[in-house]
Structure 1
Amino acid sequence: MSAAEGNTGASATPGPVETPTPSPKATTSPKTTVSPTPTKTTKKTTKPGCAQGDNQREVETALAKLGGFGTITVDGKQSAADCAAIKKFQQRYGISPAAGRAGPTTADVAKRLAATDTRKCKGGSGTTFCLDLTHQTVWAMKGGKVVLKPTVTRTGMSGFATPTGVYTVQNRALKEWSNPYEVWLPYWQRFNGGIGFHETTTYIHVKSIGSHGCANLLPSDARAFWKLGKIGTRVHVFGHRPGT
């Protein structure tokens, strides 16, 4: 059936055929551009970078007194600057992990160093190694001035207390074999019988095991004291290690 037939019907009387009026051409609607919804800008908060420990204020106070580890704010709250300073301190004194958290070991070391009074050491005109048993710290003086700042040490445990007194370095060796304990003692400097300074052979911050009278030193400190010392170097040992 044609379009005309469809419009007039098959049974109707034929008449003039009406030419359909052409439909207007469809016009394309203008393209609508949808702008993306602006993303809400959130101001980023700078996180400290490491966890806060239970001894935050104690560590901040000690590090602020010691100086040299960066900006420290004594407020008991961890910050990015505090975190960096505490990490630097932990790395310097061999505290593991050096993650910037102010835990009990970090607090103990920091407070001992901050409490050390270098004036208590009786130094002479030459070099003197100063060993403070009370605070478990050691430093070096020359001509009355500190030439190696206080650092940590670990002396004799209970039953093996390091004796106090004034001595001199009597023997030195880059590596000394300990017969009774069957272990090498790097950067050995003997000052009293079988007692001397040497690099620690265990984790120095495990205070419960102590030494058998020697002054254990961190590797970097053992090298520094070895470089400075010589046969005849004066050694002043004073104080009392708690528990010995």
Structure 2
Amino acid sequence: MLRFLSNRWSLLCLAVLVAAISGGAVAFGEHESNEQRHRADIVDGQRRLRAPGIDSWNELQQSPNNNPGKTGRFGAAFHYDAFVYDKAASNPKVTGVVRRGNVLKLGEKVSGSGCKDGSWYQATPFGYVCTSLGFHVSDSPSANRYGVPPAKVRSHLPYQYSRVTTKRAPRYYRMPTVEEEKQARRAMEKKGPTPEVVSSLMEGDYFLALAEKETREADGAVFYRTVRGRFVRESDVELRNPDVVRGEELGRNGWHLPIAFVWGDERDLLELKDGNARVTGKAQKHGRFVVEDERSVDGVAYVSGEPGAVKRDEVRVARKAKRPSNVPADGKWIHVDLGEQTLVAYEGDKPVYATLISSGKEGYEPPTGLFEVQQKYISTTMNAKDPIDGFYEVEEVPWTLYYHGGYALHGAYWHTDFGKVRSHGCTNIAPVDARWLYYWSEPEVPAAWHAVRFQPETTWVYFTS
């Protein structure tokens, strides 16, 4: 049920996939740095504003430790996405998801209808699981992951990702024999029937999450087993390790709003003096600085800070917004400025994080207004058909926060063009920033869970144009 809904919703959600694609909380102030309000230095006599690297960013928000212990009662998920329900009864609602191979500490066995040929158990920290709907129960934690690697929750990329580079490349249910692969290659070229070992011929734009390499003994051919348990030829995919893009945690090292983010391309860094704009260096794409002044020179608008000035239309400026009246005074909320393509996270009236986004292109704009985070996934697979670009499928889209039907904030590992509109309705965020938001926001996803759904605690999402 949930998997069907996720795919249906993604019709609005996913970024345009193009041929050229770029490759517990820590308190503010605990990490020292020499970086103050900008990252500019002198290179070959010219000033250069640099974009930041990942540094120790993944440490700023820590994932909960999954330590179920060694004694008691344990439930090991054997469905790819095993559900946690809100009640031990017929027609329960899904309240969470546990990925295959993860282990939950369970409570008492409980009576209830709706778990045909199985038994209900209390899950931790809440909810119920059914043994016939995805869980093996035992007195010791299982080490069997059923071929599914654990998500790397301490990294901004929970899996190793790849792009399929061969048109109509076969994806197999298991590693094919030499003869089966020959048949699949003929089918790929439309010269013969598709053998049963082929789950699909991938025509369109496909991005896969990979588990491990495996070698066919007969001839030494190398395949990747995907996270979802399929097999692809190593030569049919290209690994994706995108350049790191990230925002700024406000209140650290002098960073505060407004902040100007360079977008699109490298830009000229200028000095405004005596009514003239003189080039003094370069501002790297996704470089940023605290805005100190905004002015026009000969009819051209500029914003400036300590490193220098940049033309106003070459930066996106994140500014402080007024808290919506429906958001509690101490509530967590996220403001997405569609006009500026910026995102700022708040705790009450205090801005705590700022970054760039890529929202829906023309005809796919997200709705404006105030919403609540309804579901959170470490990762979820999205696919749909675009009337221009054709079919696409992106496995395990990371750090996904659904807030209104199929609309979501999520990490995007298939491009680094943040600051520019390009998606099918969802809001693309750099994976580093998406992970930060995932662990900062409410509702909290319990340790060992892959997703949580429809909890009373929430984070508000406020879209303005």
Q: Shorter chain as normaliser: what TM range?
A: 0.5 to 0.7
Which runs of structure 2 are paired with 1:17-166 in the superposition (5 Å)? 47-48=45-46, 66=259, 74-75=272-273, 76-79=277-280, 83=282, 86-87=283-284, 90-91=286-287, 108=313, 110=315, 112-113=316-317, 116-119=319-322, 123-124=327-328, 125-149=330-354, 151-166=355-370
Residues 1:222 and 1:65: Cα distance change in structure 2 (over 3 Å): closer
Cα distance in structure 1, aligned partners of 2:288 and 2:260: 13
Matched, 1:202 2:420: no
Matched, 1:192 2:404: yes
The structure with the larger Rg is 1
Where 2:322 maps in the other structure, the secondary structure is: helix
Aligned AA (2:375): N
Cα distance in structure 2, aligned partners of 1:218 and 1:133: 16
Q: CA deviation at 1:120?
A: 6.2
Cα distance in structure 2, aligned partners of 1:137 and 1:126: 20
> Which residue is 1:179 aligned to?
383
8 A contact 2:409–2:428 mirrored in 1: yes
Where 1:167 maps in the other structure, the secondary structure is: strand
Instruction: Compare the two structures and name the one with the higher helix fraction.
Output: 1
Residues 1:191 and 1:65: Cα distance change in structure 2 (over 3 Å): closer
Q: Which moved more, 1:211-220 or 1:121-130?
A: 121-130
Where 2:317 maps in the other structure, the secondary structure is: helix
Q: CA deviation at 1:92?
A: 6.3
Residues 1:237 and 1:178: Cα distance change in structure 2 (over 3 Å): same
Residues 1:117 and 1:143: Cα distance change in structure 2 (over 3 Å): closer
Which residue of the other structure, out of 216, 222, 234, is the alignment partner of 2:459? 234
8 A contact 1:48–1:78 mirrored in 2: no
Residues 1:126 and 1:134: Cα distance change in structure 2 (over 3 Å): same
8 A contact 1:131–1:235 mirrored in 2: no
**For the aligned residues, what is the CA RMSD?**
3.6
Cα distance in structure 2, aligned partners of 1:118 and 1:214: 21
Q: CA deviation at 1:234?
A: 2.8
Residues 1:238 and 1:189: Cα distance change in structure 2 (over 3 Å): closer
8 A contact 2:374–2:403 mirrored in 1: yes
Q: How many pairs does the alignment contain? A: 163
Give the gaps of 5 or more residues in structure 2.
1-43, 49-256, 262-269, 290-306, 385-391, 444-456
Residues 1:182 and 1:67: Cα distance change in structure 2 (over 3 Å): closer
Matched, 1:169 2:377: no
Residues 1:92 and 1:128: Cα distance change in structure 2 (over 3 Å): same
> Which residue is 1:28 aligned to?
none
Higher relative contact order (CA 8 A, sep 6+): 2
8 A contact 1:172–1:188 mirrored in 2: yes
Cα distance in structure 2, aligned partners of 1:108 and 1:174: 35
Aligned AA (2:367): P
TM-score by length of 2: 0.31
Identity, % of aligned pairs? 26
Aligned AA (1:133): L
Cα distance in structure 2, aligned partners of 1:132 and 1:211: 15
Instruction: Compare the two structures and name the one with the higher strand fraction.
Output: 2
